[in-house]
Amino acid sequence: MNERAPTGAETPLLSLPPTHRQTRWAIAVAVCQVAAFALVAPFARIQLAEINAFIPAFEGVIFVTDLVTSVLLFSQFAIYRLRALLVLACGYLFSALMIIPHVLTFPGAFSPTGLLGAGLQTTASLYWFWHLFFPMALLGYGLMRDEKSDSDPAEPSLLAVVVGSVALVLALACGLTLLATAGNNYLPVLFADRVGFTPEARLAAATTMLLSVSAAAVLWLSQRSLLDQWLIIVALAVLLEMALGSIFVSGRFSLGFYAGRLFSLLTSTIVLVVLLVETMRFHANVARSKERKIRRLVDANILGICIANLEGVIIEANEAFLRMVQYSLEDVVSGRLRWTDLTPAEWRKQNERSVAELHSTGAFQPVEKEYFRKDGSRVPVLVGGALFEKSGNEGVIFALDLTERKRAEQTLRESEAKFRDYAETASDWFWEIGPDYKFTHLTENAFGSNAAGRIGLTCWDHALDLETEPEKWRLVQAKLDSRQPFRDFVYRGLGSNGSPMYVRASGKPMFDANGNFRGYRGTGTDITALVLAQEEHERLRQLESNLAHINRVSMMGEMAASLSHEILHPIATARNNARAGRRFLEINPPNLDEAREALDCVVRDADRAKDIVGRIRDQIKKAPSRKERFDLNEAINEVIVMVQSAIAKNRISVDARLIDGPVPVRGDRVQLQQVLVNLILNAVEAMSSIEDGPRELSIRTEHGCTEHILVAVGDSGLGIDPVNLERVFEPFYTTKKSGVGMGLSICRTIINGHEGRLWVSANEPRGAVFQFTLPTAKTGS
């Protein structure tokens, strides 16, 4: 009960100013009061018949109205917690309570002298107390009108405040009653006899009138609300009652006496009527507001809404509901649309359960079902409803179209099924680890099988290279600890059958909505076959390198005569130049210039022999492949020099048509020269058996497409059978009696390794031409 209600500023009765219509009504009532007073005042002293039952009957009505008004004001205080309302409620309660001793002590009402030990002044004193404290309550309300409700937690509870106030008012009423009865002799003399007033009575009435005027002034000067306006009318009624009943008359049962009681009734009923009218208006507004809100909800068409009875007839439906079931408003108006007909047969049992739930609780919980559309198709819906009254026959049904949700669920199920199929058939597997790096999830194909056996184990528990390659694992753990993603981490581990396997893993960190680290998730792949294939490829590459070396040594053997000639020629020239130099030194005087020139020739011949030996050593020695930038034309000329002896021996003419200027390429100079030597020697051998016709060896370079250099070595031999144009590059295929069939295979491997292509075609008019491409240094860099 300590919960705070809204402040007084939120109630129209206390905060909103009266409308013009309400003000006109108040003015009309005030004018009528004043007019009635003006009409009665001149005749107020006329004595009328003494009706002893008038006071009990009349004041009984006032008691009821004042008591009801106080109850309504206490309820307003309970809602808005304004002390001004509490004071006003206490004023009306005091007025109601004071009526009881006043009626009981009134002479002639129940006994000639009154009950409760009443004296001559008792009833008049009680009347004065009654009409003195009520204007004081009005004045207190006016002075406290602008106070706001506070939310002090130390304030007493609402029940305690109300009960305390009622007890205080009751005590005051009892105390004043006791004073007016037992202390009758101590009070001012207000009646000279049973009927006539004394001047003191008029003075007492004047004090009451002064308080009424003060209360009206305070209420008038404040920012008036509807209640304030009518309380001014009440203060006016109290003023006129006291003036008419005590000032303009000389005693009881006069015209003024009876008329004054009518003003007292007006005082009692005005606020009650206002409270009742405003309460009814408030409830009507609430009802209309609720109706407007409900109507707005219905018309918003956010979901389907219909009003129906338990017999199945749909009385009203919004556009969303009609659109859902594809019916029209005419179908509803005609009564043809029934929710029982909308329900397919398999959902009838569910309908019966919903109706039973409606009967027992007044509502049924939402359930999923289907409705028939007008065209006979079905629409999935979520349906809930409630009766307007628990025991009533009509209620509201809410229906939500689930078509899109069902479609999304179906799409999700299909997506999950696809993902599951992918996961079950893919070579990759999916994994998750927690913050402690222990597996929390593995798909069944992980590590071959038995993935469940690794759940709860640290992800590197089965790593075989954890100790042999600690630096690699240190870097990976550093990435995990810093919550960074990683890709293509390869390690050696144990498969499900205990055999070694190579795994390639990628992963990314997981975080929850609050940014807390939850672990990693990613994929793993068994790349054992790939790693073994790479190792086998490396062994084959090494074997090819060895074979290429053997091939070069073999070719060097075949060219031994030519190479010895190339070496001996600069040596012989150097020997002759050395002799000439010695002769120039022996003459007298020595010819130093000629000797110097002869020695320079010796040095040049020695360098030439050194270069020839160096080229032979490069071709023979087994050195790792290296790619560097060099001039292809220069390399070709060196090869021509190396094979010059074989060319001359077989009486072959050479036609070298090379691109003018340097031709920069990037590659292994020795390997590419090996290809050229191989192709030239094959051409020489192909032409060695030709008896008729020219023996021509053509070597040319030209610019190919896409910034490549084309090199062609052609001969005029017998040529190659078109069927065997590609077979000549197969390992161990040869047409030579003493060949092993590896030369051209090695040549193609070398060219492919340089991002080029090697092929053979027929030469015109006869022979064969071998061609290969190499990227220029610009594109190869």
User: What's the pLDDT tens digit per position in 757-777?
Assistant: 899 888 888 889 999 999 888
Q: Which helix (H) or strand (E) holds 221?
A: helix 199-221
- The DSSP line for 147-161 is PPPP--TTSPPHHHH
pLDDT at 612: 61
pLDDT at 422: 61
Q: What percent of the chain has pLDDT over 90?
A: 7
From the CB of residue 755, how many other CB atoms can be counted at a distance below 10 Å?
14
Q: Are 254 and 47 in contact (CB under 8 A)?
A: yes
Answer whether residue 341 shows pLDDT above 80: yes
Mean pLDDT computed over 535-559: 65
Mean pLDDT computed over 530-556: 69
pLDDT at 609: 66
Residues pairing with 506 in the sheet: 523
The candidate with the shortest Cα–Cα distance to 643, out of 608, 696, 681, is: 681
pLDDT at 7: 41
Pairing verdict, β 394-401 and 378-387: antiparallel
Answer whether residue 39 shows pLDDT above 80: yes
Kindly report, residue by residue over 186-237, the tens digit of the pLDDT: 777 776 665 666 777 778 778 888 888 888 888 888 767 777 888 888 888 7
Highest-pLDDT range among 406-420, 453-467, 566-580: 453-467
Kindly report, residue by residue over 384-403, the tens digit of the pLDDT: 888 888 777 888 888 988 88
Answer whether residue 617 shows pLDDT above 50: yes
Distances (CA, A) of 444 to 431, 441, 500, 503, 732: 10, 10, 19, 16, 47
pLDDT at 780: 44
Answer whether residue 329 shows pLDDT above 80: yes
pLDDT at 380: 92
Does this model's pTM top 0.85?
Answer: no
Q: Are 672 and 548 in contact (CB under 8 A)?
A: no
From the CB of residue 186, how many other CB atoms can be counted at a distance below 10 Å?
10
Kindly report, residue by residue over 269-310, the tens digit of the pLDDT: 777 777 777 777 766 666 566 666 667 767 777 788 888 888
The candidate with the shortest Cα–Cα distance to 447, out of 534, 528, 533, is: 528
Q: Where are the beta strands (DSSP E) in 570-695?
A: 628-631, 653-657, 664-667
Q: Which helix (H) or strand (E) holds 500?
A: strand 500-511
pLDDT at 223: 66
Helices (H), 437-559: 470-481, 528-558
Helix axes 743-753, 669-688, angle to 10 degrees: 150
Q: How many Å apart are CA 283 and CA 285, to the nearest integer?
A: 5
Kindly report, residue by residue over 427-444, the tens digit of the pLDDT: 678 889 999 989 888 887
Q: Which residue has the higher pLDDT, 664 or 193?
A: 664
Confidence of residue 4 (pLDDT cuts 50, 70, 90): very low
Answer whether residue 425 shows pLDDT above 80: no
Confidence of residue 253 (pLDDT cuts 50, 70, 90): confident
Q: What percent of the chain has pLDDT over 70?
A: 82
pLDDT at 140: 85
Helices (H), 462-527: 470-481
DSSP-derived letter for residue 244 is I
Tokens at 550, concatenated:
């053997």
Q: Which residue has the higher pLDDT, 513 or 167?
A: 167
Kindly report, residue by residue over 709-722, the tens digit of the pLDDT: 899 999 988 888 88
Query: 100-114, 268-282, 443-457, 474-488 — which is least confidently predicted?
Result: 268-282
pLDDT at 5: 40
Q: How many Å apart are CA 351 and CA 357, to the nearest integer?
A: 10
pLDDT at 508: 92
DSSP-derived letter for residue 382 is E
Query: Across the chain, what does the average pLDDT equal?
Result: 80
Residues 6+ positions from 80 with CB-CB distance below 8 Å: 5, 6, 7, 8, 10, 11, 14, 149
Answer whether residue 9 shows pLDDT above 50: no
Q: Are 714 and 683 in contact (CB under 8 A)?
A: yes
Distance of CA 494 to the CA centre of its chain: 42
Confidence of residue 340 (pLDDT cuts 50, 70, 90): confident
DSSP-derived letter for residue 389 is S
Planar angle of CA 248, 252, 257, nearest 5 degrees: 50
